[in-house]
Amino acid sequence: MNTYKHMQSSSELASVLARRLTVLGSTGSVGAATLDVVRFARSHYGQEVFPLEAITAYRNADRLVRDARELGPKAVVIGDPAFYSEVKSSLARSGIEVLVGSDGLLEAAGRPADMVMSAIVGAAGLAPTLAALERGAMVALANKECVVAAGAIFRRAAEESRGVLIPVDSEHNAAFQLLDFEQSHAIEKVTLTASGGPFRTWSLERMASATPEQAVAHPNWSMGAKISVDSATLMNKGLELIEAQVLFGLPPEKLDVVIHAQSLVHCLVAYADGSVLAHLSAPDMKTPIAHALAWPQRMVSPARRLDFTEFSQFTFEKPDLQRFPSLQLARACLQAGGAAPTILNAANEVAVEQFLGRRIGFLGIARAVERTLSALSREVNSEAPATLDDVLALDGTARAKAREECELAAA
């Protein structure tokens, strides 16, 4: 076969790639990186490759308005109604529709974009992400909390709709690239790598007085506050184990975690014949974002490239579950299945918020999650919530209990 015949010119490729895009959470770390990929594609391919249907923000009205004026989406959503009149008057005469609140988010997700980037943080992204999947959109999924909280519902929606979930979380995007779904019987293990976070080498004593500033100062990745704290506790990797189970349908014993401080290898997939495939890239979210936006094609991205002469060490070590009990808690919830992951996620969101607000200490995060899980043991051991309303109800119960636990810890 003459492969050269199949090579596309840049403009042909741009037309094949072209898809209308909505970015939920466009002002966050992943959202802003997505808009950077959109801008880059336009200048690289010399045409609008990802025309924007809608972009959304919670409170960052300035940035939302600036991006809207520059990129011209058909609609914007401002989550917090307090900022509605500011956004509305700033975009008057622009022809851009301004929507508001959670209804606005749902409406944005339902608008006819081919692809929806789900980059809102936390359970707030759940309903719009599900709505996009159910109407048959391709969903580029960064928001891991929504599949942890409502795994069974997402799996069902992905099966029943024409929609597809394309992972953006770097380890899962790497796994998606490495997994041979035709040979799933031969997959022995999927190992997600973890950087170990800023406290990888800290003693428990030192971790006890860690501040929010120290916790969000991640050594390799630049990310939003919540996921940065999750990386410091290793809860992020725990949530990712559950995310991997939901996305790839693998049993818990085939999922593993290894600490790899350099964050260059993102996932390792071991096959029955002894082969292990690894995915490498610079720690730059623009690589998985570009992969997801272009899938199943590949596009040129503005991400940093790896230079193998620049680093001399690739290290791998076991996670220390004594210092990072959150990973253990998440593993137990993965194993338990049912309602456990929903409760874990909600309790963790509350505990991280309380830590960022300086109401509990760093080690208090895992403690609050653990106490919430044991206080709600009846709920933990029940079936997975069957509907979105059931998820939200259980999420609410777990949040209230976690808040109580945090108040007790703070008293």
Half-sphere exposure of 71 (CA within 13 A, CB side): 34
CB-nearer residue toward ligand NAD: 27 or 287? 27
CB-nearer residue toward ligand NAD: 85 or 222? 222
119 binds, among ligand NAD, Mg ion, none (CB under 5 to 8 A by kind): ligand NAD
Q: In terms of Cα–Cα distance, which of 120, 98, 101, 103 is closest to 54?
A: 98
143 binds, among ligand NAD, Mg ion, none (CB under 5 to 8 A by kind): ligand NAD
Burial 133-169 (b: 16+ CB within 10 A, else e): bbbebbbbbbbbbbbbbbbbbbbebbeebebbbbbbb
CB-nearer residue toward ligand NAD: 228 or 372? 228
Query: Rounded distance, CA 392 to CA 343, Å?
Result: 10
Q: Which two tokens stand for residue 266?
A: 């993102």
29 binds, among Mg ion, ligand NAD, none (CB under 5 to 8 A by kind): ligand NAD
CB-nearer residue toward ligand NAD: 27 or 233? 27
CB-nearer residue toward ligand NAD: 12 or 80? 80
Residue pair 137/165 in contact (Cβ under 8 Å)? The answer is: no
CB-nearer residue toward ligand NAD: 13 or 96? 96
21 binds, among Mg ion, ligand NAD, none (CB under 5 to 8 A by kind): none
CB-nearer residue toward ligand NAD: 14 or 402? 402
Taking CB under 5 A as the binding criterion, the range among 119-127, 146-154, 164-172, 278-286 that sits at the site for Mg ion is 164-172
263 binds, among ligand NAD, Mg ion, none (CB under 5 to 8 A by kind): none
CB-nearer residue toward Mg ion: 22 or 170? 170
Residue whose CB is nearest to Mg ion in the complex, by number: 169
30 binds, among ligand NAD, Mg ion, none (CB under 5 to 8 A by kind): ligand NAD
> How far, rounded to the nearest angstrom, does the alpha carbon of residue 205 sit from its chain's CA centroid?
31
Parallel/antiparallel/unpaired status of strands 265-271 and 187-194: antiparallel
Whole-number minimum distance, CB 26 to ligand NAD, in Å? 6
| 8 SS3 class | coil
329 binds, among ligand NAD, Mg ion, none (CB under 5 to 8 A by kind): none
Whole-number minimum distance, CB 299 to ligand NAD, in Å? 19
Burial 220-250 (b: 16+ CB within 10 A, else e): bbebbbbbbbbbbbbbbbbbbbbbbbbbbeb
Residue whose CB is nearest to ligand NAD in the complex, by number: 28
Whole-number minimum distance, CB 380 to ligand NAD, in Å? 22
Query: Rounded distance, CA 397 to CA 395, Å?
Result: 6
By CB under 5 A, name the one of 169, 243, 349, 379 that touches Mg ion. Answer: 169
**Chain contacts with ligand NAD (rule: CB under 6 A):** 25-31, 57-58, 60, 79, 119-121, 124, 142-145, 169, 221, 223-224, 227, 285
**DSSP secondary structure, 381-397, as one string:** TSPPP-SHHHHHHHHHH
Query: Rounded distance, CA 94 to CA 88, Å?
Result: 10
- Identify the H or E element spanning 39: helix 29-45
| Residues within the interface to Mg ion (CB under 5 A) | 169-171
